[in-house]
Amino acid sequence: MTDRFSEARLDQPRQPRRLRLPQINSESFGHFAEAFARFMGTPQFILYMTIFVAGWIALNLGGIFGLRWDPYPFILLNLAFSTQASYAAPLILLAQNRQADRDRLAVEEDRRRAAAQKADTEFLAREIAALRIALGEVATRDFVRSELSRLLEELEREDRRRGRGEPRPLPSARPAGAHSEPDQWDGWASEPGRRDEPGGRRG
């Protein structure tokens, strides 16, 4: 006894004793609350409650088999309803809170996905704009077609000129430092009756 009193010091405050409550698994209890709230919102629950209340009142009013444990005004039945309501309200609120948490997580996930999709859309829009700018500097199909048509016309004129034996048009000016005498190709091309090739023979 003296040792216990000697260990307690009067110059220090006494530590409060905490009441240890039983640990409850919140996840399991939450599933139970959701199942209970879901069952209370079904037509089966209303039907079962109606049958129970009707049987209770009938047995206590008619006195079938001499059973009258709760005569009018049915105080025990009112107490049962009050107890049920006092437990049902917190369980329903707990189920609603869990559903609200799930909805909040779903909204956050949708917001994150929307932000990612927006970023992807902006990236694709920039890429498409860059492709349009790059395609603007590339020759279009109409331009290539017109150039090919022009080259084809020039080749056809050259073929017709060769078929008539006309000489090829000589360049109007020679580059600076070039020899003033006509080369072998010009001589062969200017003489009538010769082919366009330098090694051709007379016809």
DSSP track, the chain = -HHHHHHS-TTSPPPPPPP-PPP--HHHHHHHHHHHHHHHTSHHHHHHHHHHHHHHHHHHHH-GGG--SS-TTTHHHHHHHHHHHHHHHHHHHHHHHHHHHHHHHHHHHHHHHHHHHHHHHHHHHHHHHHHHHHHHTSPPHHHHHHHHHHHHHHHHHHHHHHHHTPPPPPPSSPPTT--SS--HHHHHHHSTT--SSTT----
* Range of lowest pLDDT (19-28, 76-85, 104-113, 159-168): 159-168
Residues 15-44 have a mean pLDDT of 81
pLDDT digits 0-9 by tens, 45-74: 999 999 999 988 888 887 776 677 888 888
- Provide the pLDDT confidence category of residue 27 given band limits of 50, 70 and 90: confident
Give the predicted TM-score (pTM) of the model. Answer: 0.46
